[in-house]
Amino acid sequence: MKRSSISLKKLVSFLDSELSLSEFPKDDSANGLQVEGRERVGKVGLAVDACGYTFERAKERGVDFLLVHHGLIWGGLKSIRGVAGKRIKALLDSGISLYACHLPLDWHPRYGNNAELLRVLSLKKMGEFGEYHGKRIGYWGKTGTAMQMDVFVKFVDKTLKTRSSYVDFKKKVRNVGVVSGGGWSAIHDAEELGIDTFLTGEPSHSAYHLAKEMGVNLIFAGHYATETLGVKAVGEMLKKKLGLAVEFIDHPTGL
Ligand SMILES: [Zn+2]
Predicted pLDDT at 14: 98
Count of residues in the chain: 255
Predicted pLDDT at 215: 94
Predicted pLDDT at 75: 86
Residue 30 CA, ligand 1 centroid: distance in Å: 14
Taking alpha carbons only, the member of 114, 91, 90 closest to residue 104 is: 114
Domain 6-102+228-248 has what CATH class? alpha beta
Average pLDDT across each block of 10 residues of the chain; the chain has 255 residues. List them in order: 84 98 94 98 98 98 98 89 95 98 97 98 96 90 97 98 95 97 92 94 94 96 98 98 98 94
Q: Please state, in angstroms and rounded to a whole number, the distance separating the CA atoms of residues 208 and 216.
A: 9
Q: Which residues surround ligand 1, an ion (CB under 5 A)?
A: 181
Predicted pLDDT at 218: 97
Predicted pLDDT at 132: 84
Predicted pLDDT at 3: 67
What residue spans of the chain are helical by DSSP H?
Answer: 8-18, 52-60, 82-94, 103-107, 113-120, 149-160, 190-193, 207-214, 229-242
Phi, psi of 28 (to 5 degrees): -65, -30
Taking alpha carbons only, the member of 235, 233, 10, 14 closest to residue 107 is: 233
Residue 21 CA, ligand 1 centroid: distance in Å: 16
In the chain, where are the structural domains located? 6-102+228-248, 107-220
Bridge partners for 70 per DSSP: 49
Q: Could you say which DSSP state residue 107 is in?
A: H
Residue 133 CA, ligand 1 centroid: distance in Å: 14
Number of C-beta neighbours around residue 9 at 10 A: 12
Predicted pLDDT at 76: 78
CB-based burial, 85-94: b 16+ in 10 Å, e otherwise: eebbebbeeb
Residue 180 CA, ligand 1 centroid: distance in Å: 7
pTM score, whole prediction = 0.95
Predicted pLDDT at 137: 95
Give, rounded to a whole angstrom, the gap between the first and last alpha carbons of the chain.
39
Predicted pLDDT at 200: 97
Superfamily of domain 107-220: NIF3 (NGG1p interacting factor 3)-like (3.40.1390.30)
Residue 182 CA, ligand 1 centroid: distance in Å: 6
